[in-house]
Chain A
Amino acid sequence: MITIKKPGLLTTIQDLGRYGFQKYGVVVGGAMDTVAHRISNLLVGNEENAPTLEITLMGPHIEFHEDTLLSICGGDLSPSINGEPVSMWKTIYVKKGSELRFGAAKGGCRVNLGVAGGLAVPSVMESKSTYLKAGIGGFNGGAIKQGDKISTDSISGVAQHMMGQLKKDMRNQTFVEAEWSIASELIPAFKNDQVIRVMKGRHYSLFSTSSQNAFFSSCFDVSAQSDRMGYRLKGVPLSLAQPIDMLSEAVSFGTIQVPSDGNPIILLADRQTTGGYPKIGQVAAVDLPLLAQAKPGDTIRFTEITHEEAQILLLQKERKIQLLKKAIELKLNEGE
């Protein structure tokens, strides 16, 4: 079990999303940075979909009530355990009574905290993700509050094995990090003025030539009206060559649509299921984790990628994640 001593700015329980109910208007939700979520689970011996804590910009203070494994993946929010800085993207054995805190946001704005066993909350429509606007899922349907006590599910055999190995390296410390880490190519480098790769959207050709050019050549600010649902961007206003009537249709994670005021909106985890604005672009899936780390005040720019390239990059990245899974299994067998 863990206790939330301080909740932080916005801390919610997320998994990989609520699928199968979009035809009823139910949003997918789930982790904003799905790669950080998946890796944080793999590092503590969980299934990739197990619920993690998604931490935003100002992190919480969390006390651990038993010896366990944790991993901190995503943006760098200066994590520390019992006052000592702690590494990200690693398996960490932490002793009962320890407290995890976060400090300044040095890069990115979101962290996924994986805990061995995963956080124990009930499923709603087959997912444990918190959907704030409808008040469903996660811990009582809302963000984590001070004093919340959250149980964890029983830990896997893999996690038990990892704990056994790490315990041997433990002397008088209250925590110990695994010596091995994941391949650096899986760890994205978050920076301001990030270039995001984007495919042309299905309505790209309906935009004026100057708007098409501006979309791929100018800078956009991530405005303060940005949240888990979408980022509202400010920059050169984009417009259609001539107005058209559009019928609402499905949208996806990373769809960039342009309402009549000309300011693009990038749809993210808590997006509505359908939208009626023209789609100028679609963020390449491999760059969604980078985008999820952008915060209000950051600027981003778009560069074009073809649909074919985007698919190839996605398959390459997925093969790397599969290799990581294999590598974790091998590490365990070495210890036999």
Chain B
Amino acid sequence: MDYSLYPLGENAIIIELGNELNLLTHQKVQAISSFLENHSFHWMVEYIPAFSTVTIFYNPLKIMNNLKGELPNQFVCNELHEALSDLPVNQHTETRIVEIPVCYGEQFGPDLESVAKLNGLTADEVVQIHSSAEYTVYMIGFAPGFPYLGGMSEEIAAPRLPSPRLKIPERTVGIAGKQTGIYPISTPGGWNLIGRTPVELFQPNAETPSLLRAGDKIRFKPISYQEYIEWGGQEG
């Protein structure tokens, strides 16, 4: 596999796998993530997969006594070269498909109509297009459990609001430019809001605090207000 290593201070190394966002780069990110998930190094603290990089955090104190003249960064680079140079890109990793129920429109999606009008569609058509695609979770970042998703149709793209809302409720589904996403926690933001899911994306006390992880595929499933309440979603 082709990659470059860059230091990020004295306790992290960025593995760069490309400089643009595409599926091949994403596959490489997934191959390395899955390798690190199954082969931990004693000096490794954790890793962060992103669009075109995987960053490895290490503890120089755990390396201090293994050094033979080299510095900790060199030690880690050597071990990474040994592990990664022969790593196949197409390591088959099991892909999870996660279905996210969404109650579109009405009080949960105040911007659904304007997204439709902007694109010369009806609100139902926007819902149909949004919920028929399969999306890739490229990375989790920005906020706990927030997925950066790829795969939205440009037919329903819509620019950010000129002035952001002060508060977007948690679990709201939105569109910003060519991207769609879900806010796990309440936060200010300029996205067009089209619906809300009753499913929690971030649960700090669960064993895995984030519902989604990089590499997942997701689909949105339209549900009625009645179903939203039955799922345990809150009103309003």
Interface residues of A (CB under 8 A from B): 19-27, 124-125, 134, 136, 199, 202, 247-255, 272-274, 282-285, 307-308, 310-312, 314-315, 318-319
Ordered by A's residue number, 30 sampled pairs between the chains whose C-beta atoms are within 8 Å are A19-B57, A21-B209, A22-B57, A23-B47, A23-B49, A23-B213, A24-B145, A24-B208, A25-B141, A25-B144, A25-B146, A26-B209, A199-B7, A202-B8, A248-B50, A249-B50, A249-B53, A249-B55, A250-B8, A250-B12, A250-B50, A252-B57, A253-B9, A255-B9, A272-B141, A272-B142, A285-B10, A311-B73, A315-B64, A319-B64
CA distance A134 to B185 in the complex (A): 8
CA distance A26 to B144 in the complex (A): 5
Q: Tell me whether B143 and A25 are in contact (CB under 8 A).
A: yes
Can you add 18 more A-B contacts, CB < 8 Å, to A24-B213, A314-B60? A21-B46, A24-B208, A25-B141, A134-B185, A247-B21, A248-B139, A248-B148, A249-B51, A249-B52, A252-B9, A252-B57, A272-B142, A282-B8, A307-B10, A311-B73, A315-B71, A315-B72, A318-B60
CB of B176 within 8 Å of the partner chain:
no
Q: Tell me whether A136 and B204 are in contact (CB under 8 A).
A: yes
Q: Tell me whether B46 and A24 are in contact (CB under 8 A).
A: no
Distance (whole angstroms) from the CB of A138 to the closest CB of chain B: 12
Q: Tell me whether B51 and A248 are in contact (CB under 8 A).
A: yes
Q: Tell me whether A20 and B46 are in contact (CB under 8 A).
A: yes
CB of B11 within 8 Å of the partner chain:
yes
Distance (whole angstroms) from the CB of A207 to the closest CB of chain B: 16
| Residue of B whose beta carbon sits closest to that of A202 | B6
Distance (whole angstroms) from the CB of B209 to the closest CB of chain A: 6
Q: B14 contacts which of A21, A199, A249, A311 (Cβ < 8 Å)?
A: A249
Q: Tell me whether A273 and B209 are in contact (CB under 8 A).
A: no
Known: A312-B71, A314-B10. A25 touches B210 (CB 8 A): yes
Majority secondary structure, A binding face:
mixed
Q: Tell me whether B60 and A315 are in contact (CB under 8 A).
A: yes
CA distance A25 to B139 in the complex (A): 9
Q: Tell me whether A274 and B46 are in contact (CB under 8 A).
A: no
Q: Tell me whether A250 and B10 are in contact (CB under 8 A).
A: no
Q: Which residues of B contact A307 (CB under 8 A)?
A: 7, 10, 73
Q: Which residues of A contact B98 (CB under 8 A)?
A: none
Q: Which residues of B contact A274 (CB under 8 A)?
A: 48, 50, 139, 141-142
Q: Which residues of B contact A20 (CB under 8 A)?
A: 45-46
Known: A252-B8, A311-B72. A22 touches B50 (CB 8 A): no
CA distance A254 to B9 in the complex (A): 8
Q: A250 contacts which of B53, B73, B144, B204 (Cβ < 8 Å)?
A: B53
CB of B166 within 8 Å of the partner chain:
no
CA distance A125 to B148 in the complex (A): 22
Q: B71 contacts which of A247, A252, A311, A318 (Cβ < 8 Å)?
A: A311
